[in-house]
Structure 1
Amino acid sequence: MGDLQSSNCDSGRMIEAVTSVSLPKSLENWDITDIDDPEALSRDFLMCREAWNSLGPFFASKGYNLYKTRPKGSNLDSPIVKEPVPEKVEYPYAPLVFGKEQNMSFGSGSGVQSNYLCAGAGHLISYLQAVRVWPAVDIHGRHVVIKVVADDRPSHELEILEFLNSKQARSDPRNHTIPVIEFLRYDKFVFVVMPRQDAVSYRIYRWGQAFWPDFGTVQELLHLTHSFLEVFDFLHENRIIHGDFLEQNTAMNVLYPDGHWYIKGLRKPSYTRYALLDFGFSLKYPQEKSLEDIQVTRDYNFLRRSIPHPGTPYNPFKVDIIGVHQYFVH
């Protein structure tokens, strides 16, 4: 897996190639600031999209061709792969169920309905895209996603991803978190490259396919359950709260057409691996801290998870587990 320091040496050479469109000023600006304001939504969406497009030459220099924007709409299309696509890919990369490219589109990720028409661009945003994430194809034809996780100020997400992908953490069999292929730095921003593991969507891209496909056997259901209970045991042992367990923040190592959840064999325990994604709301506490003594006051979006508000302060590790319980119950 890539080392953040080793990625710095070449990025300076690419800075002049990416000056035609300015990047967001900070990580906080690389986002949709107000989904209820059509003008702000349109402005932020297009700014983030242009920022990614302007970074194309930099990522190409690292061996990643970014997905292409369409003239209209928010979906992205896979670039044409010049090299032969490998018939078999190894973990952590996800194979295509049909063994070939079938409309490898990448759409919106948040599932928030908006139907706003982007000013001056003709983009109808049916769903808001997760604008900090962009898909790409590497030089071997393997599909990945790239996410911006920090600027010149260290972020909790970067700290946690670096820990989770350390040699020691990866040696723990309970570490069912999405693997980071490499860390890349451009200017002030830090990006992580991860394998794409999700549905191949004809309409919309979503994370969260780990819970969607049908289960063929009780063993397959137990395999999923065991995997996610294990990863939370691992995280909490290392004093990490995830803080955002939702189906769209889970994945399995397979690429299949959206809606084709009836395909047999997607969940074979001998092959299938599950992964926990998105550590944007996560926190890591000192190892010597007692789990019982940690209290927080931040909003966990209790209403969305159908969890009664515990009052403040509350123990985030207990709420993490309640969130997992809610998904298995439903």
Structure 2
Amino acid sequence: MGSSTPESVIDTAMSTLRAFNRSPVPNELSQWICDAVDVSNPEKRGQVWLNTWSRWKSLAPFFVSHGLYLYDYTSDVDRGASPPGVPKARHSTSEQPPWARRAYNQEEDLDFDCLETVRIWPARDADGHEVIIRLVSGPNPSEELKIFLRLNTPDARKDPRNHTLPVLKYLTFNKLIFVVLPRWDTVAHSPWVTSNTGLEFLHEKRIAHRDIHPSNTVMNVLATPGEELNELRASGSVHYAFIDFDSSIAFPENADLSTLRVQRLMRNPVLYMGLKPGLCDPFKDDVLCLTATTQTMVRVIENVVPEVGLFFDKILHCTYDDVPSALQALQSFRRWRAGVTHDQQREPPGGSFWKGRTRK
């Protein structure tokens, strides 16, 4: 298949053994973190990327043995990791899930520049599909691994409300557990009803996401950066998914949601909401963060459909105890959405993004 393919199974096994013996790869998940550096500084960013690449590069023979070809990082090019020379990409504009549709012009558009997120690395499978390899657990099973397992049972994957990426493979190296996921782009700003249906499913599975924002939702497309993608959002062909469960919690599946409390994780979404440190209901926080995120895209129709403003305000400006569940919010959304007339649907929105206050 090309020069990067081992000549035999024995060669692959020996390469993997050598990688294991000299590997700079720690097998404790806590050691797979990015040092606090200013990644806006090209020199410092390059050093972070180089350190990350040194870990993944030592694992390249192992991943090749599983039909996965890592993107390559060259430190003298400040554009992230680049696709492998072989195999060639084979994404089409009509690709069906779990694969992303092609909306990029050239291979360079696939460059991956999120290398400071140490636990993920892009790759291409033997059939030419782009994937993400994500380290999710060390020797002691992590919460994130528990979540992936819960979301990827046969029954969970059949549920149409399951708006998460499917695990294509679980791989283990030196007690490190990796999941292989299809690569979709973070260009989502997904519709409120789709996101909230997905959130309802997560909460039904007793999973609190705890880090909902636009960069943690993806769309089934691989696009040229900066390109307009409105034509790719047609109902029936577009799919959205939540990603990044490293901050999430999986409670017992029979737990009573109304009784669950944890210390609030002070990530950007809750800081933006003006929420304070302390004990919280993580499911209410999820609803608030999702609502605040999606109103910037949906509330632009308030000039045509005034009810949309009332819907968002009722959730975002009520008392914390009165924040609805994901299911209750979804039911409320569907009630006012059912009253939107055809004439209203034909009216142009009041802009591309709505700007207003949240709970602050």
Establish whether TM, by shorter chain, passes 0.5.
yes
SS in structure 1 opposite 2:121? Answer: strand
TM-superposed deviation, 1:22: 1.9
- Tell me which residue corresponds to 1:210: 188
TM-superposed deviation, 1:311: 5.3
- Tell me which residue corresponds to 2:85: 80
The alignment's C-alpha RMSD in Å is 2.7
> Contact 1:143/1:196 (CA < 8 Å) preserved in 2?
yes
Quote the Cα distance in structure 2 between the aligned partners of 1:74 and 1:84.
19
Which of the residues 31, 34, 57 maps onto 1:32? Answer: 34
TM-superposed deviation, 1:90: 2.7
Letter in 1 for 2:227: H
Quote the Cα distance in structure 1 between the aligned partners of 2:269 and 2:222.
32
Superimposed CA distance per residue, residues 142-180 of structure 1 (whole angstroms, 9 cap, x where no aligned partner): 101101111101100000001101101111110001111
> Contact 1:157/1:279 (CA < 8 Å) preserved in 2?
yes
- Tell me which residue corresponds to 1:152: 139
Letter in 2 for 1:22: P
- Tell me which residue corresponds to 1:214: none
Unaligned runs of 5+ in 2: 1-11, 297-360
Which of the residues 102, 105, 108 maps onto 1:96? Answer: 102
SS in structure 1 opposite 2:102? Answer: coil
1:273 corresponds to 2:275: no
User: 90-99 vs 280-289, which deviates more?
Assistant: 90-99
- Tell me which residue corresponds to 1:240: 207
SS in structure 2 opposite 1:271? Answer: coil
Quote the Cα distance in structure 2 between the aligned partners of 1:40 and 1:27.
23
> Contact 1:32/1:41 (CA < 8 Å) preserved in 2?
no
> Contact 1:250/1:277 (CA < 8 Å) preserved in 2?
yes
1:282 to 1:132, Cα distance in 2 relative to 1, 3 A: same
> Contact 1:77/1:103 (CA < 8 Å) preserved in 2?
no
> Contact 1:252/1:274 (CA < 8 Å) preserved in 2?
yes
- 1:1-330 counterparts in 2 under 5 A? 14-35=16-37, 45-72=49-76, 73=78, 75-82=80-87, 85=90, 87=92, 89-98=95-104, 101-108=107-114, 129-198=116-185, 208-211=186-189, 224-261=191-228, 263-301=229-267, 305-310=271-276, 312-330=278-296
TM-superposed deviation, 1:24: 2.1
TM-superposed deviation, 1:42: 7.5
User: What's the TM-score, normalizing by structure 1?
Assistant: 0.77
SS in structure 2 opposite 1:209? Answer: coil
1:103 to 1:18, Cα distance in 2 relative to 1, 3 A: farther
Quote the Cα distance in structure 2 between the aligned partners of 1:230 and 1:86.
28
- Aligned positions, number: 281
> Contact 1:15/1:187 (CA < 8 Å) preserved in 2?
no
1:54 to 1:314, Cα distance in 2 relative to 1, 3 A: same
Fraction of identical pairs, as percent: 32
Quote the Cα distance in structure 2 between the aligned partners of 1:172 and 1:11.
39
TM-superposed deviation, 1:277: 0.2
> Contact 1:302/1:309 (CA < 8 Å) preserved in 2?
no
> Contact 1:27/1:150 (CA < 8 Å) preserved in 2?
yes
TM-superposed deviation, 1:234: 0.6
TM-superposed deviation, 1:18: 3.8
More helix by proportion, 1 or 2?
A: 2
Letter in 2 for 1:51: R
Quote the Cα distance in structure 1 between the aligned partners of 2:75 and 2:124.
20
1:85 to 1:287, Cα distance in 2 relative to 1, 3 A: closer
Quote the Cα distance in structure 2 between the aligned partners of 1:91 and 1:59.
23
TM-superposed deviation, 1:289: 1.8
TM-superposed deviation, 1:265: 1.8
SS in structure 2 opposite 1:71? Answer: coil
More RCO (CA 8 Å, sep 6+): 1
User: What's the TM-score, normalizing by structure 2?
Assistant: 0.71
SS in structure 2 opposite 1:57? Answer: helix
Unaligned runs of 5+ in 1: 1-9, 110-128, 199-207, 212-220
